[in-house]
Structure 1
Amino acid sequence: MHSLTTPTIATKADAAAVAPLQSLLDIITNLVSLLLLSSLSVRSFVGRWQILRTKLISLQSSLSSISDSPHWSENPLLHTLLPSLLSTLQRLKALSDQCTLSSFTGGKLLMQSDLDIASTSLSNHLRDIDLLLRSGVLYQSNAIVLSQPGPASDKEDLVLFIKDLFTRLQIGGVEFKKKALESLLQLLIDDEKSACLVAKEGNIGYLISLLDFHHQGLIREQAVLGLSIVVSASDESRKIVFEEGGLGPLLRVLETGSMILKEKSAIAIEAITIDPENAWAVSAYGGVSVLMEACRSGSVATQTHAVGAIRNIVAVEDIQTTLAEEGAVPVLVELMASDSNSAKENAAHCIATLASSGEYFRVLIIRERGLERLMHLIQDSSSSLATVENSLRAISSLSLSDSAARILSSSTSFIIQLGEFVKKGNMLLQQISSSLIGNLSISDGNKRAIANCMGSLVKLMECPKPVGLQEAATQAIVSVLTVRSNRKELVRDEKSVMRLVQMLDPKYEAVNKTFTVMVVAAVLSGGSNGCRKRLVAAGAYQHLQKLAEMEVAGAKKVLQRLAGNRLKSIFSRTWRE
């Protein structure tokens, strides 16, 4: 166990301090007994005194529980709480003396007000004492808040530590709150696993209440930081913070807080919105406009997490409508040039989602030169894999617009980059790139520039997953094979030819035969005798015969091309002879 501050050590001074505290408790206990007796003989404001009597009975029981606790005098909170309680009871005794007179001559409204104020104060004291008793810390020697449980501590010690922290937060003054929050933050930073226990055992609702503007700046800052750690710890802790009403106050802090408060609240909001079911609440609190403003004018850290929160909720249709109203597209396009890699990644994701949602957003993105920004990101070596994936997804959706398709088709560097993704990218990049190559109107010159990816496209034709990859690869290679030099180059690649022939085999069920027939037809489309010879030599003819008998689409036509070539060869030899 290591110490955050100097642990309480039993000294003579400490022992001497116990006696006055015991005397104070005795005085309070006697005063409560006197008030209970006098409450029975009051002649004025009887109804209010009946309420006060009920509270005094509860207080008497609570004081007895304090006295029975073995280490109650060691708890520093009571050094503040008991004197304050005594002051309230003394005021109540003075009021009691006036109300027991045979005829009350004072101002009735003033007395009613004084009794109500005293009653409220008494309720607050009862609440504080109840919190203290329920925490269990009065049964712990040398209040554990002064010494954080170490890695070897058991769960019970940690739970007691957490309960004591939150007791101090709720009962103590400003200094107690600051020290308790410091200890809480130290625990959360030193032990990541403790965050889940804090969420379950601590009073998260009260921690959230410390975000209110009437609290000191340091307290608000510590509370926001604590919440950002707790909410990021696990699904369960995130759910607890949300259910305790944390999202609304965090959005208010993001809107009006200092720079550091905005940064920490943005972290917490991003974590809360990871759960899709929480997305509606952002809109309900008017949070979309708050997040967009944070993206416009916040620090880099605030922007990164604010756009991360938007990424979490952007798929919701109502939120997309609000984003359009808030002018989100220019801001998101600008963030794709951020110094923060995470901000670029999140912004690209948002743009990809909006681009896939309809022509309205595609027009906006293209108008704001978002397409050019996306094209830059996929070719930027500093871009993360996720940023490249999101950017390429966005480009794929934008390519549905004619204006974007023309820009993409005419960019040699972009087309070459697609070829590189086909050869070296992951499955997602390969699929999207193949689809774009197959769908764009690429010039013959650019098709020749990516001829070296044809072998990879043939390999992709054999991949059963993800769904749609085989079809995308087929369309891409058919498109590239419209160039004569590419057809010749492909048949010179012995491995690719053998793969194609293997895929023609009816026994090879991993590939849709229609796709393979389409590629073979593309290879033969120029009438090259050399291409036919290589396919026949590799055994394509026999497989096509079987596919034609099975009535696979296009197989008979391709077979005729191969067969016609064989007949011509026979006739040619006969004539020469």
Structure 2
Amino acid sequence: MRSTTDPPPLPPPSPAVTLENITQLLNQLLPAALSITCFASRWQVLRSKLAAVKSLLSEISDSPHWSENLLLVNLLPDLLSTLRRTETLCHHCCDASFSRGKLLMQSDLDMAAGWLSKQINDLELLLRSGVLHQSTAIVLSRPEASSSKEEIAFFVKDLFTRLQIGGLEFKRKALESLIQLLSEDDKSAVLVAKEGNLGCLVSLLDLNAHDSVRELAVLAVSLLVSAGDLPRKCVFEEGVLGPLLRILESGPMPMKEKAAMAVEFITADPDNAWAISAYGGVHILIELCKSGSLTAQSHAAGAIRNVSTVEDIRVALAEEGAVPVLMQLLVSGSPSAQEKSANCISILASSSECFRSLLLKENGLQKLLHLFHECSNSDTFEHILRAIYSLSASDTSYRMLSGSTTFIVQIAELVKHGNVMIQHISASLLANLAISDGNKRAIAGCMGYLVKLMESVKPDGMQEIGAKALLSLLSVKSNRKEFVRDEKSLMRLVKMLDPKNEVVSKKFPVAVVAAVMAGGSQGCRKKLVAAGAYSHVQRLAELEVAGAKKALQRLSANRLTSILTRTWRD
């Protein structure tokens, strides 16, 4: 504790004074080092580094605002301290009576060379960044919204210069400013990717970095990779996936959440997804799904969903036991985790019989059906329905779904009221399942909606699926009669038959006409002919459209029968 009688401490010398002291010391050291004969090779290295320092300082002093830069203000005293240690070593090596051990002196000289190398690197970095030419370089606040691209680019360079040269507090403030910039302006991420040293940012994720800096760096990386393809690509190419996965494995939970978010965004790019297996990431992600926080689980499930599109990684997912973990998340996870797990399960179920078997072993179909009846989230619901459709390829599931009146009625309702994708999947199930005649009669009310689906250009395959589902329902006689009583559906069908209508493939409405006439119903024929179907089918037969001749034959045969009947009666 300082006595009250002690004089107050002297203020630190100004940067100009420190630079002058360094220059004087260099002017003494450089010629003195030439006269040293012992440890010649080491002093030759030191002389080259001292000369490099002198050249860099000369260039720095020519910069108009060098004395205002806080990084340089901190660097110069450290450099002066290194030069004074080097001066002491110079005196010792010139003093023949000095008895210090040879190995110890060699070590001291090597350390001095190492210090100078680092300080030379920092000085070069400052010069290359251009921040010494700007009087605002000491300001770490975000540029105004009206700032030019050049001003923001300079701001980014200054931030990354501080990340590389500055101490702990400099790094923290630089990262906070970088996070603020990325949070408020997504477009700035491209400039950060182009102008910033992303390798330096990635290095701050290392386990040896200070926790406060590491946590900020993880957040900055997650914001950067979420901002677009270019930033994501640039960060990935700097090898960020390995450090992020190490954080997922052993970091504190708040840091794991941010790292998991970054991994999810990185793996959203198929070109990056393959790299997960190279770092043993499949096991890490599955473990995080088991024991992470709700947020971490959601991002981990999202990353697994992303990589599940890669065949080699699907093998690892099966071997690491991903299916039961995903099913557990689907049943009891957060809404976000449920949605991503359902998506992943639908991908896996559609990929191979192996995964369908694994899902069925976990009572996957029963759990999916339960959620199918209970789920209120439209995105999750769509993935669940898609997974059910994929599982229907299994014989056991096929029989169970085909025999479930509740399920059949509900998917018929989805054909009426679901969004386009849900309508497509529901119609696919109606087209492919072996539905009983009784159930077909129960859902006859969806036939008009299936006709509408036959007119849909998007998504691909909708017209065919709509037609197949309708043909399945028209196998029942009462449904055929009900269909022709629906004037709107009948007119839609005739419009699709018109050869001038190029939106719809003609083979689908032609097949529907043939199906309606399969029982030879006179009433159905009259309705079709009255609506104008005959002339269109006749023209399509002339154009050799698939199935048109058969449909025309059925219409014509019934027409001939009608003519003969009227003639006999007359």
TM over 0.5: yes
Q: 1:152 aligned to 2:146?
A: yes
Q: What is the CA-CA distance between 1:464 and the residue it aligns to?
A: 4.3
Shift in CA distance, 197/570, structure 1 to aligned 2, threshold 3 Å: closer
Cα contact 1:296–1:331 (8 A) shared by 2? yes
Shift in CA distance, 529/29, structure 1 to aligned 2, threshold 3 Å: same
Q: What is the CA-CA distance between 1:509 and the residue it aligns to?
A: 4.7
Q: What is the CA-CA distance between 1:340 and the residue it aligns to?
A: 3.5
Cα contact 1:399–1:405 (8 A) shared by 2? yes
1:177 counterpart (171, 179, 191): 171
Show CA shifts across 1:415-438 (max 9, x none).
Answer: 223223322334433332222111
Matches within 5 A, 1:132-531: 132-380=126-374, 382-384=376-378, 386-531=379-524
Paired AA for residue 453 in structure 2: L
Shift in CA distance, 127/466, structure 1 to aligned 2, threshold 3 Å: same
Show CA shifts across 1:219-271 (max 9, x none).
Answer: 11001001111111121111110111111111111111111111111111111
Shift in CA distance, 555/100, structure 1 to aligned 2, threshold 3 Å: same
Paired AA for residue 107 in structure 1: G
In structure 1, what is the Cα distance between the partners aligned to 2:562 and 2:545?
Answer: 27
Larger CA deviation: 104-113 vs 28-37? 104-113
In structure 2, what is the Cα distance between the partners aligned to 1:330 and 1:344?
Answer: 13
Paired AA for residue 78 in structure 1: L
Shift in CA distance, 570/241, structure 1 to aligned 2, threshold 3 Å: closer
In structure 1, what is the Cα distance between the partners aligned to 2:497 and 2:67?
Answer: 88
Structure 2 gap ranges (5+): 1-9
Paired AA for residue 180 in structure 1: A
In structure 2, what is the Cα distance between the partners aligned to 1:333 and 1:119?
Answer: 59
Task: Name the TM-score, length of structure 2 as normaliser.
Answer: 0.91
In structure 2, what is the Cα distance between the partners aligned to 1:168 and 1:46?
Answer: 36
Larger CA deviation: 96-105 vs 471-480? 96-105
Which structure has more relative contact order (CA 8 Å, sep 6+)? It is: 1
Show CA shifts across 1:132-171 (max 9, x none).
Answer: 2222222322544343321122223222222222222222
Paired AA for residue 361 in structure 1: F
Match of 1:131 in 2: 125
In structure 2, what is the Cα distance between the partners aligned to 1:31 and 1:380?
Answer: 80
In structure 1, what is the Cα distance between the partners aligned to 2:129 and 2:22?
Answer: 22
In structure 1, what is the Cα distance between the partners aligned to 2:412 and 2:285?
Answer: 38
Q: What is the CA-CA distance between 1:556 and the residue it aligns to?
A: 4.9
Paired AA for residue 418 in structure 1: I
In structure 2, what is the Cα distance between the partners aligned to 1:360 and 1:339?
Answer: 25
Structure 1 gap ranges (5+): 1-15
Q: 1:75 aligned to 2:69?
A: yes
Show CA shifts across 1:396-428 (max 9, x none).
Answer: 221111111122212233222322332233443
Q: What is the CA-CA distance between 1:327 and the residue it aligns to?
A: 0.6
Paired AA for residue 53 in structure 2: L
Paired AA for residue 328 in structure 1: A
2:30 counterpart (24, 36, 39): 36
Q: 1:60 aligned to 2:60?
A: no
Q: What is the CA-CA distance between 1:312 and the residue it aligns to?
A: 1.9
Match of 1:11 in 2: none
Shift in CA distance, 405/76, structure 1 to aligned 2, threshold 3 Å: same
Paired AA for residue 292 in structure 2: G
Shift in CA distance, 569/290, structure 1 to aligned 2, threshold 3 Å: same
Paired AA for residue 357 in structure 2: V
Shift in CA distance, 490/26, structure 1 to aligned 2, threshold 3 Å: same
Larger CA deviation: 543-552 vs 301-310? 543-552
Paired AA for residue 282 in structure 1: I
In structure 1, what is the Cα distance between the partners aligned to 2:458 and 2:115?
Answer: 69
Show CA shifts across 1:59-118 (max 9, x none).
Answer: 011222232233222222234322222222111111111212347643111111111111
Shift in CA distance, 439/25, structure 1 to aligned 2, threshold 3 Å: same
Shift in CA distance, 569/21, structure 1 to aligned 2, threshold 3 Å: closer
Larger CA deviation: 524-533 vs 21-30? 524-533
Cα contact 1:294–1:303 (8 A) shared by 2? yes
Show CA shifts across 1:291-341 (max 9, x none).
Answer: 111122111111111221222221111100110111111112222235533
Shift in CA distance, 39/475, structure 1 to aligned 2, threshold 3 Å: same
Larger CA deviation: 183-192 vs 325-334? 183-192
Paired AA for residue 75 in structure 1: N
Shift in CA distance, 33/388, structure 1 to aligned 2, threshold 3 Å: same
2:527 counterpart (524, 534, 548): 534
Cα contact 1:44–1:104 (8 A) shared by 2? no
Partner-residue secondary structure (3-state), 2:305:
helix
Partner-residue secondary structure (3-state), 1:336:
helix
Shift in CA distance, 109/435, structure 1 to aligned 2, threshold 3 Å: same
1:94 counterpart (80, 83, 88): 88
Cα contact 2:450–2:470 (8 A) shared by 1? yes
| Number of corresponding residues | 561
Cα contact 2:140–2:173 (8 A) shared by 1? no
% identity of equivalent residues: 62
RMSD over aligned CA atoms reads 2.4
Paired AA for residue 318 in structure 2: A
Match of 2:5 in 1: none
Paired AA for residue 83 in structure 2: L
Paired AA for residue 453 in structure 1: C
Paired AA for residue 437 in structure 1: L
Paired AA for residue 72 in structure 1: W
Q: What is the CA-CA distance between 1:23 and the residue it aligns to?
A: 2.1
In structure 1, what is the Cα distance between the partners aligned to 2:481 and 2:346?
Answer: 38
Show CA shifts across 1:272-309 (max 9, x none).
Answer: 11221112211111111111111221111111112212
